[in-house]
Amino acid sequence: MTEVLFLADFSVIKPDPGLIFWTALIFLLVWLILGRMAFRPIQNALKQREQDIQNALDEARKARQEMANLKAENEELLKQAQEERAKILKEAKEAKDTIISEAKEKAKEEAHKIVENAKAEIENQRMAAVVDLKNQIGLLSIEVAEKVLRRQLEDKAGQEQFVKSLVDEIKLS
Amino acid sequence: MKVEFKKLSILVFALAFSWGMLLAQGHGQAQEEHGVETEQQGEHGGEAGHGGHEDGKYDPVGTVMGHIADANEFHVWKGVHLPLPVILYAPEHGWTTGLSSMFQHGHVAVDGYVLNHGRVNRVADPAFPKGEAHIDGVVAHKVEEADGKEKDVYYAVHEGQEYLLDPPSTVDGGFLGGRITSFYDFSITKNVFTMLLAGLLLILLFSAVARGYRKNIHKAPSGIQSFMEVFFVFIRDEVTKPMIGEKHYERFQPFIMTLFFFILFCNLMGLIPFFPGSANVTGNLAVTMTLAVITFLVVNFNGKRDYWEHVFWMPGIPAWVKIILTPVEILSLFIKPFSLMIRLFANISAGHIIILSLIGLVFLFGNNGQSVGGAAGGAVIGGLFTAFMNLIELLVAFLQAFIFAILTASYIGAAVEEHHHDEAHGEAH
């Protein structure tokens, strides 16, 4: 027996053809199987999913855009409606004002007319009353005159004086 | 107060952890010492799998090298080994198959094949008996080579006769100390077993994930699916898309994902200190070389006209520079995958070596079982450092897988890129 039996043999740097053969076989098999069975499908699935996500994002953006458009449209409509309302209110107010003023005017006119009419009526009535009064006075004076005449006619001088006084009275009235 | 408690708990954890390791290792050592005794008596072979202390002395380097090496059987716990299928080919003999348990940890030779330190070796000597034969043990002799380096040469002892053992062939062409020997080992080794397990785990995991995608169509991801989706999306958005480009990345996503996860799982399995982990898969040059070669093929088979133009005749520079640049570019074609191979191998190997060395401190400080106090000190220091190193190795496991993947993606990106200045010219005319 010798002293040190196992001198260091750095065998891992000596390429063994068997190991090369098996490494190549195993690696190529793993490559083929994994590629066919896993990596290609995974790659396609990932791509598909990324596309789906992109589409979803695009759609969301589109929907958001549409929403914004819709909102703007609504706001526009609202604004228009409000303007319309304000206009209508304003017009109504104006109409009211004119109607009121017209009515006032009319009422004034009517009142005036009524007053006028009343005045005319009063005048007429007064005139009628005056006429009536005149007539009454006339009648009275005739009666008086008759009575006086009947008495006076008995006295000539008195008769004349009486007539004269009567005429003076008439002038006075 | 809280910090103190934290520190204390780390210390206790490290102590307990190292003590467990110490006990486990001590048991193995005792067994091996037993093996050594019998070996010295010339009756039985040494316990396989853990080299390094056959003469009773702890050899740290040998132990570490034995642990990071590939093996034909998987050590589970206290001398229990998972037998692995052996598939051996010797040109002069043909195929030999079976389970590694048939070698009975080096006590039995089958068709001249002997288990030596967990690896199958072969007796090429035609005088050695065919079929099953009893082995008295494996001995090593130091041999001085022509360049002055010392090398162990192993012999199987059969009926008092020593027979030279051939290690399995390696294809480094002699540059790294290996050579083509009398046989080739195509066994399901510890590394192959771990790779199979990692591959199986990956397939199970990702089939569950893919099932989630089928089930949760048009729905939010759930469970394991959403957990793994993070990785998939990370590799896609941080690696393949920016490196390869929007136009081509989809074709290469499965390849980059497979690379990343295969390397990551092998790295992580290697960090688990017990069965079925602990195999140094991506710290073996054969594995990283294969991955690098596959990368090289994928890159260059997908090379577009622009890519080859930039390699062989770079546009837009003077002709004399092109003459210098073209060889550099051609070299770089090979240097790129070479750097991938070395980077991953070196990082993972180094991590395993450091952790094993730190655990080795226990035996070194314990003076080979003579000093219990030293062993305890080594357990505390080694345990703390090991815990720290394990965390760093966890980072390295992810980092190296990521680097391999991102560099591969960038090489592919360079190969498939279409340069815009050409198009601009075309439009201008």
Per domain, the residue ranges of chain B are: 85-187, 192-428
Contact B98, B390 (CB under 8 A): no
**Contact criterion met (CB < 8 Å) for B206 and A15:** no
CA neighbor of B213 nearest in space, from B226, B204, B202, B200 = B226
pLDDT at A161 over 90: no
Residue A126, φ and ψ in degrees, nearest 5: -60, -45
CA neighbor of B261 nearest in space, from A80, A81, A38 = A38
Confidence (pLDDT) at B94: 86
Contact B384, B271 (CB under 8 A): no
The kind and range of the H/E element at A20 are helix A17-34
- Confidence class for position A69, pLDDT limits 50, 70, 90: very high
Q: Report the alpha-carbon distance of residue B297 to residue B142 in Å, rounded.
A: 42
Q: Does the complex come out with an ipTM higher than 0.85?
A: no
With beta carbons under 8 A apart, name residues in chain B contacting A24: 290, 293-294
The kind and range of the H/E element at B77 are strand B73-77
Q: Does B213 touch chain A (CB under 8 A)?
A: yes
At B279-295, the pLDDT tens digits run 899 999 999 999 999 99
Note if the pTM is more than 0.95. no
**Contact criterion met (CB < 8 Å) for A14 and B285:** yes
244-273 in chain B: CB under 8 A from chain A: 250, 253-255, 257-258, 261-262
Angle between helices B190-215 and A17-34 (to 10 degrees): 0
Q: Does A117 touch chain B (CB under 8 A)?
A: no
Burial of residue A98 (number of CB atoms within 10 Å: 0-12, 13-18, 19+): exposed
Q: Does B67 touch chain A (CB under 8 A)?
A: no
Confidence (pLDDT) at B16: 55
Write out residues in chain B with pLDDT < 50, as ranges.
1, 19-54, 422-429
- What lies within 8 Å, CB to CB, of A154 at 6+ separation is none
CB nearest A41 (choices: B189, B213, B280): B213
Confidence (pLDDT) at B86: 92
pLDDT at A154 over 80: no
Strands (E) located in B150-307: 150-158, 161-166, 184-185
**Contact criterion met (CB < 8 Å) for B207 and A1:** no
Determine the structural domain holding residue A65 and report its residue range: 16-172
Domain annotation covers residue A120: yes
How many angstroms from the chain centroid is the CA of residue B268? 11
Nearest Cα of chain B lies from the Cα of A59 at a distance, in angstroms, of 16
Q: Report the alpha-carbon distance of residue A97 to residue B196 in Å, rounded.
A: 102
Interval A107-113 mean pLDDT: 89
- The B113-116 sheet, strands edge to edge: B132-134, B108-110, B113-116, B119-123, B161-166, B150-158, B137-144
Collapsing DSSP to helix, strand or coil, B408 comes out as helix
Confidence (pLDDT) at B59: 79
Q: How long is chain A? A: 173
What are the structure tokens assigned to B131, written together? 């079929």
Domain annotation covers residue A30: yes
At A5-29, the pLDDT tens digits run 444 578 888 888 999 999 999 999 9
Contact B379, B358 (CB under 8 A): no
> Based on the structure, what is the number of domains in chain A?
1
Confidence (pLDDT) at B13: 57
Nearest Cα of chain A lies from the Cα of B369 at a distance, in angstroms, of 18
pLDDT at A33 over 60: yes
Interval A118-141 mean pLDDT: 85
